[in-house]
Amino acid sequence: MDDALLVSRMQFAFTVTYHYLFPMLTMGLALLIFVLKSIYMRNGDERYNESARFWGKIFAVTFVMGVVTGIPMEFQFGTNWAAFSRFTGDVIAQTLAMEGAFAFFLESAFVGLFLWGERRFGQRLHWFSSLMVFLGTWASGYFIIATNSWLQNPVGYRVLDNGNIQLEDYWAVLLNPWMFAQYAHNMGGAVVCGAFAMAGLGAFYLLAQKHEEHGRIFVKVGVVAGVLASVWMLFPSGHFSSEQVANEQPVALAAMEGQFKTEGPAGIVLVGQPDVENRRIDNPIVVPRALSYLVYQNWNAEVRGLDAFPEKNWPDNIPLLYYSYHVMVGLGTIFIAILSLAAFLLWRGRLYGARWMLWILMLAVPFPFIANTAGWFTAELGRQPWLAYGLFRTSEGVSPLVSSGSVLFTLIGFAGMYLIMGLLYVVLMVREVNHGPGQEDEMLLSPDTRTV
């Protein structure tokens, strides 16, 4: 039985991690495409329209991957986590079902219109559909974050005599206080992703001396959006996110920081390897008193370590949680540095000639994907050992009659399919990038429009 739990957790972790690589890009790009299209509507510069169309194609392939890998997520609540679905269904199914009713219909209608309708229905409707695609993808993000926020911080429910729970206050769930900072942080992360992708590809075109006019637009829009979003990730969204973890999930914070002992003042560990058996950090580099200040704005405050909490409530994978958190924060800091420098060069008019900076922008593209993934690992591993924080343990949630062998079968199947899909995605991306913007504008999305 424990095996089925482990394999189900691995399957969920694998499928959701893989899935989220795509939405983090589409949600960021949706905003940037809308920006490009809006600039074109204002100034009539055809290059912006071509840029919007080009990124629309990148968006389209990524969106398909996101949809296709997203369907298993909704199914898995039922297939692998039946006990959890039964226990929490009265609450969390609200937001999940609302995503279908409000976001998916909207997206499916307007993505099609955006990709297929420009020539036939004109510029205004095309601009409007880019706006609706942006709203749809961000609404989708909202419903998922609202669901996750309830798991992080259950609100608006009532416990019945038989131990089950019931929804008591619908608006409390939709406006969960936890949701605001998490949503702001998550969507900011998506914009950082989209911005780095755009700036990085623009930098590639400039370095390779191909499509340079469009490359400059990509770099400019990407760097400006990126610098705003990366600062937003630190403050306010990152600051308030960590504050609510400190207040509501102090044991998760202690594990994230690698703080085994309660102490005051507490330093912050920048580098080091957690040794959980011996309750210490090996090879630490510590900034004294910094953690006390960051959490309580007081250089001498006492910070509770893991020893202040019963071990059965400790997150069950402390090293991975610790590394995820450190990778997220470390990369976030580096992003601010890179993008501030790039923005400064852009302002001085020297960015397009600064080859070293273009190289950095180009090579940086994968890292926001890693940082976003690490951020989700931090949120989800920090929530352990609970599925719904303080209410329902992960170990109780698995489907009672599904054997570990069945789950391993499907996990292997998913791994194989996702490998092939990943390869296809890379092939198609390389083709799009080589093809470039502003060529003959055939709509490349599926049932194609090329003449015979």
- Binders of other proteins among 127-166, rule CB under 8 A? 166
CB of 408 to other proteins, least distance (A): 12
75 makes contact with other proteins (CB under 8 A): yes
Q: Which is nearer to other proteins, 308 or 402 (CB)?
A: 402
User: CA-CA distance, 256 to 250, in Å (whole number)?
Assistant: 10
DSSP 101: I
Tell which one of 6, 41, 109, 408 touches other proteins (CB under 8 A): 109
CA pair distance 282, 304, nearest whole angstrom? 20
Euclidean distance between the first and the last CA atom of the chain, given in angstroms as a whole number = 58
Q: Among 10, 13, 102, 309, indicate the residue that binds other proteins (CB under 8 A).
A: 102
> To the nearest whole angstrom, how small is the minimum distance from the Cβ of residue 124 to other proteins?
14
Pick the closest to residue 145 from 232, 31, 227, 24 (CA basis): 24
**Residues in contact with 276: Cβ distance below 8 Å, sequence separation at least 6, in sequence order:** 318, 319
- Give the range of 81-89, 207-215, 359-367, 380-388 binding other proteins by CB under 8 A: 81-89
Q: How far is the CB of 118 from other proteins (least distance, A)?
A: 7
Q: Smallest distance from the beta carbon of 233 to other proteins, in angstroms?
A: 30
Alpha-helical runs (H) found in 209-317: 212-234, 237-248, 250-257, 290-296
Binding window for other proteins (CB under 8 A); candidates: 76-84, 178-186, 245-253, 299-307: 76-84
Scanning 79-87, 181-189, 277-285, 299-307 for contacts with other proteins by CB under 8 A, the matching segment is 79-87
Q: Which one, 88 or 244, has the nearer CB to other proteins?
A: 88
x/- binding map, residues 160-199, to other proteins, per CB under 8 A?
Answer: ------xxx-x-----------------------------
Smallest distance from other proteins to CB 232, Å:
30
Whether the upstream peptide bond of residue 385 has omega within 30° of 0, thus cis, is yes
Binding-site string for other proteins from residue 230 to residue 249, where x marks contact by CB under 8 A and - marks none: --------------------
Residues in CB range of 357: below 8 A, 6 or more apart? 203, 341, 342, 345, 351
Q: Which of 13, 16, 67, 341 is in the footprint of other proteins by CB under 8 A?
A: 67
Ranges within 360-399 binding other proteins (CB under 8 A): 399
The single residue among 23, 66, 72, 215 that binds other proteins, judged by CB under 8 A, is 72
What does the block give as tokens for 291? 């953690």
Residues 6+ apart with CB under 8 A from 246: 253, 295
With respect to other proteins, which residue has the nearer C-beta, 67 or 341?
67
CB of 439 to other proteins, least distance (A): 14
Q: Does 124 bind other proteins (CB under 8 A)?
A: no
User: How far apart are the C-alpha atoms of 158 and 173, rounded to whole Å?
Assistant: 12
Exactly one of 14, 90, 341, 393 binds other proteins (CB under 8 A); which one? 90
Return the SS3 of 280: strand
Q: What is the rounded distance in angstroms from the CA atom of residue 309 to the CA atom of residue 398?
A: 26
Find tokens 């060529």 and name the residue.
439
The helix (run of H) or strand (run of E) holding residue 165 is strand 165-167
Paired with 274 in beta bridges are: 281
Any residues with CB less than 8 A from the CB of 197 and at least 6 apart, and which? Answer: 25, 28, 29, 58, 222, 365
Residues 244-273 that bind other proteins (CB under 8 A): none
Closer residue to other proteins, CB minimum distance, 277 or 448: 448
Task: Say how far apart CA 367 and CA 379 lie, in whole Å.
Answer: 18
82 part of the interface to other proteins, by CB under 8 A: yes
Residues 228-257, buried b or exposed e (16+ Cβ, 10 A)? ebbbbbbebbbeebbbbbbeebbbbbbbbb
**Segment lying near other proteins (by CB under 8 A), choices 60-68, 182-190, 292-300, 373-381:** 60-68
Nearest to 34 by CA among 47, 22, 51: 51
Among 117, 264, 330, 438, binds other proteins (CB under 8 A): 117
Total residues interacting with other proteins, rule: CB under 8 A: 74
Q: Which is nearer to other proteins, 83 or 228 (CB)?
A: 83
Least distance to other proteins, CB of residue 154, Å: 15
Does residue 284 bind other proteins (CB under 8 A)? Answer: no
Which window, 33-41, 101-109, 217-225, 301-309, contacts other proteins (CB under 8 A)?
Answer: 101-109
